[in-house]
Amino acid sequence: MKQFEGRVAVITGAGSGIGRELAIACAGRGMKLVLADVDTEGLAGTKGLISGTIAVRTRLCDVSNSEAVHDLAGFAFEEFGHVHLLFNNAGVASLGPVWSATPEDWKWVLGVNLIGVANGIQSFVPRMIAAGQDGHIVNTSSGAGLTAVAGSGVYCASKHAVVALSECLLKDLENAGSKLKVNVLCPSLVKTAIADSNRHRPAHLASANPDSAPFDQRVRAGMEASEVSAADVARITLQAICDDDFYILPHPAVRIRVEERLRDIIGDHRHQEPDNLVKTTDGP
Ligand SMILES: NC(=O)c1ccc[n+]([C@@H]2O[C@H](COP(=O)([O-])OP(=O)(O)OC[C@H]3O[C@@H](n4cnc5c(N)ncnc54)[C@H](O)[C@@H]3O)[C@@H](O)[C@H]2O)c1
């Protein structure tokens, strides 16, 4: 999609971090916006950062609730007539070894990160297909959706599922002859409020996990030191939409880890054994 001006973007998790910067970047391209989040103040804060000439609507919406997302879609189409960019971006994180994760951890993290994306697809995509216009569905996964991160099993599982879901969505849209495209956004650490995800954790899914790890200083320091900001991620994402690049990897280090993982999967360890590599290539 090359034309942004005057078109409509819906962004979940728009009250903070990457979602907020996506909103600012889309507004900078002259788009109309529907911003959704569970955080009223966050939404007002994002709206306040956007020029008064841009049409912005805000909506409280828990993406893990299919009815709420269905209502969000109805609201967006009613307000602006169409949706061209759907950013399924809302996400949360919990930490701890896999064996310590409780049913509440799984329900919360998968509910927001995976079912939230599925709800967005179910509520918006049929209407976007029916309109026959071009557009993109941009699902926020993570570098943790392409590789394994110790102490992040539940989060990684949710984000790997978002990558798989996005890959399947792309194929399904192609099979249906739709003009719609898909992108999956896979950043590594970015300085946002995700380390304080618990701030929006519902009471009925409160952690009963004695081994759940708070985001330690190392992770927070990694976010502080990240060479890629949330604004960079938003800029790179809009460019990828323009260029129709399916996988969006704003951090170069993620590419290296993905390559290592793929070599492990296909059993090609030669990159770790330069002597063998020389022997193989120099062989008769
Ligand atoms: N920050 C990072 O290092 C990083 C890295 C890779 C991927 N991500 C992903 O980026 C996305 C955005 O996260 P962020 O880093 O900007 O964090 P953030 O906490 O700053 O923003 C997340 C937003 O999602 C909202 N949210 C939480 N639960 C919700 C729900 N049930 N329904 C609707 N909104 C909800 C929060 O209120 C918040 O405004 C997430 O999907 C996250 O997993 C973040």
DSSP three-state, residue 220: helix
CA distance 223 to 191: 5
Q: Assess contact for 14 and 92: CB atoms under 8 A.
A: no
Taking alpha carbons only, the member of 121, 40, 111 closest to residue 87 is 121
Q: Which of 192, 205, 215, 224 to mutate to test the pocket of ligand 1 (most atoms within 8 A of CB)?
A: 192
- For position 270, what pLDDT does the model report? 60
Helices (H) and strands (E) in the chain, counts: 10, 7
C-alpha of residue 258 to centroid of ligand 1, in Å:
22
CA distance 4 to 28: 10
- For position 210, what pLDDT does the model report? 67
**Does the beta carbon of 158 lie inside 6 Å of ligand 1?**
no
What does the domain layout of the chain look like in residue ranges?
A: 8-250, 253-284
Q: Which of 12, 18, 67 to mutate to test the pocket of ligand 1 (most atoms within 8 A of CB)?
A: 18
* Residue 139: both structure tokens together: 């699902």
Radius of gyration of the chain (CA): 20
Ligand 1, atom 42, lies closest to the CA of 91
Q: Assess contact for 131 and 157: CB atoms under 8 A.
A: no
Please name the CATH architecture into which domain 8-250 falls: 3-Layer(aba) Sandwich (3.40)
* Residue 96: both structure tokens together: 């701890």
Q: Which of 11, 16, 65, 115 to mutate to test the pocket of ligand 1 (most atoms within 8 A of CB)?
A: 16
**Does the beta carbon of 35 lie inside 6 Å of ligand 1?**
no
C-alpha of residue 192 to centroid of ligand 1, in Å:
8
CA distance 238 to 225: 24
pLDDT values of the chain reduced to their tens digit, one per residue, 284 residues: 999 999 999 999 999 999 999 999 999 999 999 999 999 999 999 999 998 899 999 999 999 999 999 999 999 999 999 999 999 999 999 989 999 999 999 999 999 999 999 999 999 999 999 999 999 999 999 999 999 999 999 999 999 999 999 999 999 999 999 999 999 999 999 999 999 999 999 999 997 776 666 666 778 888 899 999 999 999 999 999 999 999 999 999 999 999 999 999 999 866 555 444 433 333 34
Question: Dihedral sign, CA of 38, 42, 44, 48?
Answer: negative
Ligand 1, atom 31, lies closest to the CA of 62
- Amino acid letter at 17? G
Using alpha carbons only, what angle is made at residue 177 by residues 72 and 64, rounded to the nearest 5 degrees? 25
Rounded to 10 deg, the angle between the 153-175 and 116-131 helix axes is 20
- For position 283, what pLDDT does the model report? 35
Ligand 1, atom 36, lies closest to the CA of 13
Place of tokens 């927070």: 220
C-alpha of residue 12 to centroid of ligand 1, in Å:
9
CA distance 95 to 271: 31
**Strand-strand pairing, 135-140 and 85-88:** parallel
* Residue 132: both structure tokens together: 């026959």
Place of tokens 């996964």: 141
Q: 126-145 in b/e burial notation, b at 16+ Cβ within 10 A?
A: eebbebeeebbbbbbbbbbb
**Does the beta carbon of 39 lie inside 6 Å of ligand 1?**
yes
Q: What is the dihedral of CA 176, 117, 83, 229, to 10 degrees?
A: -120
The residues that are catalytic are: 155
